[in-house]
Amino acid sequence: MLYQLAVNFCILFTFSIISYWPFQDRGRFRIPYPKLHPVLIGLTAGVTATFLLAASVRLEGGVFVDARISVIVISGIFGGPVAPVIAAAVVGLVRIGMSGFAGAGLVAGLNAVFIGIAASGFFAWKGSSFRTARLFFHFAVLETAVVLIFLLPKGAGVVMNTAMFIAYSYLSYFTVTVILRELNSHFKKLAGIEKLSKTDFLTGLNNSRSFGEIISSMLEDGTRPVSLVLFDIDRFKKVNDTYGHPVGDEVLTELAGRIRRCALPKGAVLSRNGGEEFSVLLPGIAEDQALSVAEKLRRAVAGNPFILDGGLSIPVTISLGVCSFPGQAEDTKQLYQRADEALYTAKQTGRNRVVAWTPRTESIAKT
């Protein structure tokens, strides 16, 4: 008996990891087609419950003790309201089929289907989480215990067998969910660390590392147009020298906010490349439209002064350089270099303006 319960627990634990790990956004390996995830989790739970039935503890009267209730409930944590219904339908049909559609097997199978439908409604009402699953699990175990008492032959073994079912159900379920919650917590922490490594701490935009990875991936196929708008704040050093670096940080934060609020083309990627230098990557955008986007950014900044904490008002302008791939640049390095040359030309020719790269801007940048 103990050996069979141990095998049951191992099957349950394996299912829990399989139904959790590949379906998370944070994992390196992830199953595609997110809309199908609840169905796949439900089917995985149903197959797992079939294995649990095969390794169950057989009691008198054709009654099986295993962790199928835990599987149905856990599937709802990761698969939402859809997964428990699918899991319960599979396990219910298998359980009924094992008994020839009669007797205790029929009642147990219908009970599994009932629990699946009830779990689906509960998760749809309360949401899918470890907390809501725990609440429903109490109901599922107690309800199944009542069914078990009804199915077991009358005698001294009813109390002991029912108690064994309840103890095993709680021990297996809460052991697995504690481990899963710890995994979930660690995944969240890792995701946070990874996000920090790719995000500028002050503005929340992509940092230079992310910018480098994204621009390289955008230029991989070599045919799709990509434009780069590179810009920085005019006379930013004067802002820091006059008002102090904390005010300078506020200006950078406000600038990032204004960029975000601009109606940019779909797929635009915003980054802070370092210091007061920012960029907007525009996939699928050629030079003419990129110049329009750059002009929109320029007006969004120059149109109104920055009102900072304490009511301080500072007029801020930006200079912008634009370069496009593949027409004006052949690779990532050249695209950035030529956008930077155009930005330098905008600075040299009066600031608060947009300049597109041309061979002339290259010559100006080198003087």
What are the tokens at 81? 């309201």
Cβ–Cβ < 8 Å for 79, 42: yes
Which residues are tagged catalytic? 276
Q: Name the region of 43 (left: φ>0; alpha: ψ -120 to 50; beta: rest).
A: alpha
Tell me, what DSSP letter sits at residue 27? S
Cβ–Cβ < 8 Å for 39, 47: no
Question: What secondary structure does DSSP assign to 148-215, as a single string?
Answer: HHHHSPSSTHHHHHHHHHHHHHHHHHHHHHHHHHHHHHHHHHHHHHHHHHHB-TTT-SB-HHHHHHHH
Bridge partners, residue 354, by sequence = 320
In angstroms, the CA 69 to CA 304 distance is: 62
Residue 162 contacts by C-beta under 8 Å, 6 or more apart in sequence?
Answer: 145, 148, 149, 152
CA nearest neighbour of 121 among 161, 88, 168:
88
Residue 280: burial class (beta carbons within 10 Å; 0-12, 13-18, 19+): buried
Specify the 3-state DSSP secondary structure of 101: coil
